[in-house]
Chain A
Amino acid sequence: MTSTPSEPVLRIEDLQIALPEGADRAFAVDDVSYELNAGEILCIVGESGSGKSMSANAMMGLLPDQVRPTAGHIFFDGQDLLTLSEAELRDLRGRRIAMIFQEPMSALNPLMRIEDQISEVFEAHNLLTPKERRARTLELLNEVQIPDPEKAMQAYPFQLSGGQRQRVMIAMALALEPDVLIADEPTTALDVTTQAQILELIHDLRDRHGMAVMFITHDFGVVAEIADRVAVMQFGKIVEKGTAEEVLDNPQHDYTRKLIAAIPKLHAEKQEMVTSPTPILEVIGLCKTYRSGGGLFGGPERVVKAVKMINLKLAEGETLGIVGESGSGKSSVGRCLVRLMEPDAGSVFLAGEDMAHLKGEKLRSARKSIQMIFQDPFASLNPRTKIGRIIAEGPIAHGVPAQVAFAKAAELLELVGLDKSALDRYPHEFSGGQRQRVGIARALALEPRVIIADEAVSALDVSIQAQVLDLLADLKARLNLALVFITHDLRVAAQICDRIAVMQKGEVVEIGTAHDIFNAPQSAYTQSLIEAIPGREKELAAAS
């Protein structure tokens, strides 16, 4: 390479990318300039729709059909990438600039062994002999620290865990020793402990290979862990850029300040326990086992014990967090509580009545007192039903006259901070945060005493997430609701929960007040979870 150390590897100048007509703004990316130096990690941070992935996609020639760069340059190694032909770009992709994606399962070919997928990278660029490819593949898998690389080479993607798959993706990206690695939300789909490992791996590899890393993320915790420099994007423009310390510790732009303020603080207040004499919800010995396969010709049956003998108590007006990584059984517990899933054993006493063994009409009326808020605001509202109807449907089903139910729906909309005019509109006219408010209004329509929130804020941007959490806390206090808050995000749990139950592999490994869990975790697993929270060290350092 001829570039001197001061010369950046990649320089983007005044980049402008136009969106097709009818989009919510004219340019996906407008007047964006930044540079990337060798051996540096640049984090591009923004909320959904900020255009943070667009400049990277333009670089790789991965823009959707109707979206075209209209001005600016992307200089890489003296060439403007925007003027290169498809063939020239193809030669650069993978060899000089590599990319890893958010969801490793969909980025890997499900029908190809790992070995073949990695050696395909060499094959595509006509490099090495088949034997050398094999040797290099093994070397790469070793480098990304996959346990038992020999075996992993022979595995199919579905046989690996999420973290292992992301390691394979990274190995593929590293295969040809690129100068630039683009990582588009590479840890968003991963559990917090796996995320910490992958971040460490990317950090390590950067040190060893001296490549430039462009890390696209929405998570300021991740930024604090990994970034050297940061660029914050909003509505397609860079509103602030600087070193990680400058931006995180002394943000200049209002938007950056707002974003950082919206991150739930890892700090749980010590508070008086609300002790109500009789718990509103009591779970005793809840078990749920999944069986698949088996049958007449299905071979051996696969049995997964998702929930093993869970006991929980929830007092009136209390918020209980159920925290765990994917596969810990936390969502199964929530679904068993409301009987969207049949528990195999155990009892769920709701105000003294055993929900787990009710049937038919009795179950229907008991469910009025226990409602749920769902994760995905886009999937949880019927796209063909108006908002008013969505909220009023429950009461109408329980015999409330339609007129009364709709009047109530209007009140509920105001309660959750939406305008009454929303009644006659369809869900697609609303943003994710607004839809989640509708979901909350729907849950409240039946005047429940317990609400189960299953990852209710996980799909939302951090600023929206903060608003919804505030709304939930406010409603809870006003209506004296008991809340079961299921989440993978310990920061969120710290903010809203009175008590927290930590689940691992179907069991509750620790239960206690939020304050105790965060300040004096008893089990090793809880400790490892808390240590893995991105940005925690920085926060601790700032606090002391």
Chain B
Amino acid sequence: MTDFWKRYQRNRGAVIGLIILLAVVLVAVLAPVLFPQSPWKMVQRPFLPPFAMERFPLGTDTLGRNVLAGLAHGAQVSLLVGLISTLVSLVIGIPIGALAGYFGGWVDDALMRFTEFFQTVPNFALAIVLVAIFEPSVQSIVGAIAIVSWPPVARLVRGEVLSLRSREYVEAAILSGQTNATIIWRQILPNTLSPIIVLASLMVATAILLESSLSFLGLGDPNLMSWGYMIGAARTVIRQAWWLSFFPGLAIVLTVLALNLIGEGLNDALNPRLSRKGK
């Protein structure tokens, strides 16, 4: 573990990314304490510019709601949606990829055609359609994002399993009479963990972007304040009130950047042989 941290630390960007992400998580966790009032509540006159009043450092929006409170509560939504939808897509993608890679033959053919079916439809279009059909709510958004983002997981896992399957220790496990399920679970999957972790960290970033895009289009959960919704609502007044879209936009950029940096750091730390030459 200390070894892992040492290698991770070598990537300066990754450490910065981790610090940013921890800050965002902290804000999200503390949001109900810092801003006990609902972020939807009007608290001041509309269009209060940032830094004009001490109580509202980022100003207020078109309806006089506190932008900072919106950002803090939005962090909760973004992180939760990002995390849960990634978990769900891992739960779909890993078994499909593992089965396809392990059994090969017609199982592989069937599962991969099924995967391609999802891959050929543009991600975002499919997500919009799904959310529109199932009514915008957190559940439907998480579901839609998960459904459009599992195919890369399945592909990655299948590739890894294909190469691990012919390793001698897997053959030894077959000979020792272990069942296919045990072999996949105990021998193969633990060894695919590092690329999956790296991919997952990047998927969380993509999921946050997707959620923001959906909310921007007005397909977010109407009961939850989210960064995408804030930008979407402010787009008509972008010339009068730049801060309304700027700060949520900055939050998205920083969070996604942090996750990408972390992904790269994890890649360096988990696949030391593939990492770029440290000079």
Which A residues have a C-beta under 8 Å from some C-beta of B? 65, 338, 340, 364-365, 367-368, 370-372, 374-376, 379-385, 390, 393-394, 397-398, 439, 442, 445-446
Contacts and interface: CB of A to CB of B under 8 A. Distances in A.
B277 A65 contact: yes
**Which 9 residue pairs are nearest across A and B when measured between Cβ atoms?**
A394-B176, A380-B168, A374-B168, A397-B178, A382-B169, A384-B190, A379-B168, A364-B177, A397-B177
Contacts of A365: 177
A524 to B, nearest CB: 35
Nearest to B179: A397
A143 B224 CA distance: 80
A179 B186 CA distance: 55
B174 A382 contact: no
What interface size band does chain B fall in? 10 to 19
- Interface SS, A side: loop
Interface in B111-170: 167-169
Contacts of A379: 167-169
Interface in B78-136: none
Nearest to A452: B175
A394 B178 contact: yes
Contact of A393 (B168, B171, B173, B277): B173
B182 A397 contact: yes
Contacts of B277: 65
Contacts of B169: 379-382, 390
Contacts of B178: 393-394, 397
Contact of B176 (A376, A380, A383, A397): A397
Contacts of B182: 397
B187 interface: yes
23 contacts: A340-B175, A364-B177, A365-B177, A367-B175, A367-B176, A367-B177, A368-B177, A372-B175, A374-B172, A376-B168, A379-B167, A380-B168, A382-B169, A382-B187, A382-B190, A384-B190, A385-B187, A393-B186, A397-B178, A397-B179, A439-B172, A442-B176, A446-B176
Contacts of B168: 374-376, 379-380
Contacts of B275: none
A248 to B, nearest CB: 36
A368 B182 CA distance: 17
Contacts of A380: 167-169, 172
A458 to B, nearest CB: 13
B271 interface: no
Nearest to A384: B190
Given A374-B171, A397-B176, 11 more contacts: A65-B277, A364-B177, A365-B177, A370-B175, A374-B168, A380-B167, A382-B191, A384-B190, A397-B179, A398-B177, A445-B176
A390 to B, nearest CB: 8
A393 B185 CA distance: 13
Nearest to A365: B177
Contacts of A370: 175
Interface in B170-203: 171-179, 182, 186-187, 190-191
A381 B172 CA distance: 9
B3 to A, nearest CB: 10
Contacts of A382: 169, 173, 187, 190-191
Residue of B175, B178, B186 with most partner-chain A CB within 10 A = B175
Nearest to B171: A340
A380 B187 CA distance: 11
Contacts of A368: 177
A383 B190 CA distance: 9
Residue of A367, A379, A393, A446 with most partner-chain B CB within 10 A = A393
A367 B187 CA distance: 19
Contacts of A371: 175-176
Contacts of B177: 364-365, 367-368, 394, 397-398, 446
A445 to B, nearest CB: 7
